[in-house]
Amino acid sequence: MAEYLRLYEENPNPRDIQKAVKILRNGGLVIYPTDTVYGLGCDITNIKALERIARIKGVKLEKSNFSFVCEDLSNLSDYVKQIDTQTFKILKRALPGPYTFILPGAKTLPNPFKKRKTVGIRVPDNAIAIALVNALGNPIVSTSIRDEDEVIEYTTDPELILEKWDNLVDLVIDGGYGDNEPSTVIDLSEEIPVIVREGKGSLEIF
């Protein structure tokens, strides 16, 4: 049975954030709000938790398209190869915001991701998500909560999310109703930016 925490984005309770972080550090899976749809995440340093998420999503961990949710751009070099000024300017303009940027992966990536040529980087504009990453001290590996219903696609009600995911995760953070539009995915790993998926993020950042 998953725990259920109600947090307010305007002022997330630090004690509750620490409770969630303890679950993450112990290899737990947490569903949490972002500036787009709800995310399913775990500690990037915990192999067993990473493998659990991969199993739930029915993918091989090495070939997964999970995003790295970061607090800001300050530790980007731990996960991403050196990027040019133009790319950095795009990131600065867009983040924090509803975007996932695909960037060339660094040689220092955690073991399960060592063979990746690229990584997806997210800095959501959501105080709960940022507080979690800040308190954890490293990125959360994350994927969107999808719904089997093709019409809805993304579940936005945290209580329905708890109902559905109760036996699969360790904690559901209720940060209010989520959005039903995912992040805009932009590939910046080559010279010319490529729009992989149009979502909530505007394309006026270029």
Q: Is the pLDDT of residue 34 over 60?
A: yes
Q: Where are the domains of the chain?
A: 3-197
- pLDDT band, residue 82 (cuts 50/70/90): very high
User: In sequence order, which residues have a C-beta less than 8 Å from that of residue 168 and are 6 or more positions away?
Assistant: 2, 29, 56
Q: Is the pLDDT of residue 148 over 70?
A: no
Q: What pLDDT score was predicted for residue 155? A: 81
Alpha helices in the chain (DSSP H): 14-25, 47-57, 85-94, 127-136, 158-165
* Topology at the third CATH level for domain 3-197: DHBP synthase (3.90.870)
The residues with which 100 forms a beta bridge, in sequence order, are: 185
Q: How many CA atoms lie within 13 A of 103 on its CB side?
A: 27
From residue 58, alpha-carbon distances to 52, 54, 177 in Å are 10, 6, 27
- pLDDT band, residue 146 (cuts 50/70/90): confident
Distance between CA atoms of residues 24 and 29, nearest Å: 6
Find the range with the poorest average confidence among 38-52, 65-79, 100-114, 137-151: 137-151
- pLDDT band, residue 205 (cuts 50/70/90): confident
pLDDT in tens, 159-185: 999 999 999 999 999 999 999 899 999
- pLDDT band, residue 154 (cuts 50/70/90): confident
Q: Contact at 8 Å (CB) between 163 and 4?
A: no
Q: Is the pLDDT of residue 149 over 70?
A: no
- Averaged pLDDT score across all residues of the chain: 94
- pLDDT band, residue 96 (cuts 50/70/90): very high
pLDDT in tens, 101-142: 999 999 999 999 988 999 999 999 999 999 999 999 999 999
